[in-house]
């Protein structure tokens, strides 16, 4: 069912049919009616490929998902699930490429842009120094990033203020009387991990405390487990730990439990992402919301604006994070252990914040 056969069936020219369908004003109302009815009746569907060739726009947006073998970034994929429907509602297709971070990744981006496969690109998991961003900027490809970067030039982006998030989380723990607050971070080349580390640090120095211990690893349960175990055996066992992601937090909770300690009481844990299962860990995880649907929505809007010629530098948003309090954090253990149990109702005296804890022998037997 090409436009040609439709036209001949109607005894009209291709031009007229095309214009009738596209709603141009230079076709008589009666004719348009007739064309539309026949198109409907015969199930005519314009061939998108031909249309694209002619118009020069591919009608698709691309996204490259980092696929380290075996393990896939849940957050990333959830985002994808939200983006897909939004784009198709806007009449755009989403083409997906997978590539392990690194060389193949850049290759995927080049593929997408140099083969004219996409009109625009969505990009996530920004890094501090992000070659993908410089590449896209250089080639003038419209794109919107989830997360900021340290590139000089500006680009459309949507981010959640991870720095404030982890500053807030740290203050919350300080309010609970913790004074030794560790950080289990994802690789800090990632902007989100970097920001979260900064927030944590900022909140600590604001009250004159030194940094607690910080450990880094992949954002997986396994890694969270391993790092937390290490922490539990080290001399620097903190009473609270911030985990850069929920997956790491899940591993950490498990490590705490298998060390015979009670998460949320002996050791507080706060995560980030509010994965569906975060409400079902033991204890349920205090964490930060990821308003995936809302972010996807906004990113798509931004991209559409960009494709419409909007100025990228006007399209930069940083949203404020929202903490979801559950039971994996709470008052610092009274005298560091021993007395155990609850402290004085959530308020803690100054001394509680002093860092002699690292000399505390009781911490070693964990």
Our finding on whether 110 is near DNA (CB under 7 A) is: no
Our finding on whether 55 is near DNA (CB under 7 A) is: yes
Among 9, 36, 38, 46, binds DNA (CB under 7 A): 46
Q: What's the order of all strands across the beta sheet hosting 268-270? A: 214-216, 181-185, 240-243, 268-270
HSE-CB at 295 with a 13 A cutoff on CA atoms is: 28
Our finding on whether 11 is near DNA (CB under 7 A) is: yes
Token duo for residue 169? 């989380």
Asked if 136 and 121 count as a contact pair (C-beta separation under 8 A), the reply is yes
10 Å CB burial of residue 212 (0-12, 13-18, 19+) is buried
- Of 21 and 104, the one with the shorter C-beta distance to DNA is 21
- What is the phi/psi pair of residue 131, to 5°? -60, -30
- Of 81 and 187, the one with the shorter C-beta distance to a second copy is 81
Our finding on whether 23 is near DNA (CB under 7 A) is: no
Length of the chain: 366
Token duo for residue 271? 């995560």
Query: Alpha helices of the chain — where are they, by DSSP H?
Result: 3-10, 14-22, 29-42, 48-55, 74-89, 103-114, 131-139, 162-175, 191-206, 221-233, 246-258, 292-307
Other beta carbons within 10 angstroms of residue 301's beta carbon come to 15
Our finding on whether 205 is near DNA (CB under 7 A) is: no
Among DNA, a second copy, none, residue 43 binds (CB under 5-8 Å by kind): a second copy
Mask of contacts with a second copy, 216-235, x by CB under 8 A?
----xxx--x----------
- Of 13 and 258, the one with the shorter C-beta distance to DNA is 13
Among 28, 77, 206, 339, binds a second copy (CB under 8 A): 77
Among DNA, a second copy, none, residue 19 binds (CB under 5-8 Å by kind): DNA
Closest approach of Cβ 163 to a second copy, in Å? 27
Closest approach of Cβ 345 to a second copy, in Å? 25
CA distance 90 to 63: 16
Among 8, 28, 72, 322, binds a second copy (CB under 8 A): 72
Our finding on whether 115 is near a second copy (CB under 8 A) is: yes
- Of 42 and 344, the one with the shorter C-beta distance to a second copy is 42
Among DNA, a second copy, none, residue 358 binds (CB under 5-8 Å by kind): none
CA distance 260 to 255: 9
Contact positions vs DNA (CB under 7 A)? 1-4, 11-16, 18-19, 21-22, 26-29, 31, 44-47, 50-51, 53-56
């Amino acid at each position: 069912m090409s436009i040609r056969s439709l036209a001949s069936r109607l005894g009209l020219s291709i031009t007229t049919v095309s214009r009738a369908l596209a709603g141009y004003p230079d076709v008589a109302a009666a004719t348009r009616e007739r064309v539309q009815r026949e198109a409907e009746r015969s199930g005519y569907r314009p061939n998108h490929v031909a249309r694209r060739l002619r118009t020069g726009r591919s009608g698709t947006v691309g996204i490259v998902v980092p696929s380290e073998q075996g393990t896939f970034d849940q957050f990333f994929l959830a985002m994808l699930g939200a983006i897909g429907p939004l784009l198709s509602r806007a009449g755009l297709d989403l083409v997906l490429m997978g590539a392990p971070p690194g060389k193949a990744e850049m290759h995927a981006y080049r593929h997408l842009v140099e083969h004219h496969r996409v009109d625009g690109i969505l990009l996530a998991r920004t890094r501090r120094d992000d070659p993908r961003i410089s590449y896209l900027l250089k080639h003038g490809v419209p794109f919107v990033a989830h997360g900021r970067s340290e590139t000089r030039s500006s680009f459309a982006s949507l981010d959640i203020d991870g720095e404030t998030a982890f500053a807030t989380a740290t203050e919350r723990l300080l309010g609970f009387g913790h004074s030794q607050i560790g950080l289990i971070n994802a690789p800090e080349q990632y902007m989100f991990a970097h920001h979260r580390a900064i927030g944590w640090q900022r909140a600590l120095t604001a009250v004159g405390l030194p940094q607690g211990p910080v450990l880094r690893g992949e954002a997986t349960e396994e890694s969270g487990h391993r790092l937390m175990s290490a922490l539990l055996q080290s001399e620097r066992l903190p009473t609270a730990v911030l985990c850069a992601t929920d997956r790491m937090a899940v591993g950490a909770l498990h490590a705490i439990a298998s060390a015979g300690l009670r998460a949320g009481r002996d050791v507080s844990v706060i995560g980030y992402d509010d994965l569906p299962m975060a409400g079902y860990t033991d204890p349920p995880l205090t964490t930060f919301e990821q308003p995936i649907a809302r972010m996807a929505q906004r990113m798509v809007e931004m991209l559409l604006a960009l494709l419409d010629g909007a100025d990228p530098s006007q399209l930069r948003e940083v949203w404020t994070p929202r903490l979801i309090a559950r039971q994996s954090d709470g008052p610092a253990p009274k005298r560091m252990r021993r007395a155990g149990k609850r402290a004085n109702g959530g308020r803690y005296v100054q001394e509680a914040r002093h860092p002699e804890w690292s000399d505390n022998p009781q911490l070693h037997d964990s």
